[in-house]
Structure 1
Amino acid sequence: MPTEKSMLEHINELVAEEKQLRASSEHTDDDRTRLRHLEEQLDQCWDMLRQRRAKTEFDQPADDVKERPVGEVEGYLQ
């Protein structure tokens, strides 16, 4: 299970790639597909990080969080 630090590093890498793709003036179909995938990955990473932090707050083991499916994470109300 990744640590909080490694999760944050991964999030930062995904955000950097997303920014780089968005900075381009023209987007190919592959770029749009990659952006959508990056957004989904980021949502899953943030969800896992929130799970870890909630478990830690309530003195539960944070290492047993599971990555939730994209459809579930994308369906959350903002």
Structure 2
Amino acid sequence: MDQQQILARIAEMVDAEKTLRESLATGAIDEATERARLGDLERELDQCWELLRRRRAKEASGGEPAPVRLRPAPRVESYEA
């Protein structure tokens, strides 16, 4: 994935999150369904943002960002702020 593809995927997930929240507000889906899907979206968003940060850092330091790949969600989720 290149930077533009990563940003496009992030935008898609943000739109999906908005749609889920609107569906919950209107009663179109139940809360359990929304929470499960939101959890999936949050994990994937974390992965994409982390990938984007690593690719940008690699590029800024003069490296080739292409070899930088998506890390597994459990690894990204275990980072401390």
1:35-74 to structure 2, matched below 5 A, reads 35-74=38-77
Which consecutive segments of 4 or more residues in structure 1 shift more than 6 A? none
Shift of 1:30: 2.2
Question: TM-score normalized by structure 2?
Answer: 0.86
Matches within 5 A, 1:9-24: 9-23=8-22, 24=24
1:44 Cα deviation from its structure 2 partner: 0.2
Deviations 1:34-78 (Å, cap 9, x if unpaired)? 110000000000011001100000011100012111111111122
TM-score (norm 1): 0.89
User: For structure 2, which runs of at least 5 residues remain unmatched after alignment?
Assistant: none
Partner-residue secondary structure (3-state), 2:4: helix
Count of equivalent residues: 77
Gaps (5+ residues) in structure 1?
Answer: none
Cα distance in 2 for partners of 1:28, 1:55 equals: 40
Find the counterpart in structure 2 of residue 5 from structure 1. 4
Q: Take 1:20 and 1:65, find their aligned partners in 2: how far apart are those partners?
A: 31
Larger radius of gyration: 2
Q: Which amino acid aligns with 2:12?
A: E
1:77 counterpart = 2:80: yes
RMSD: 1.2
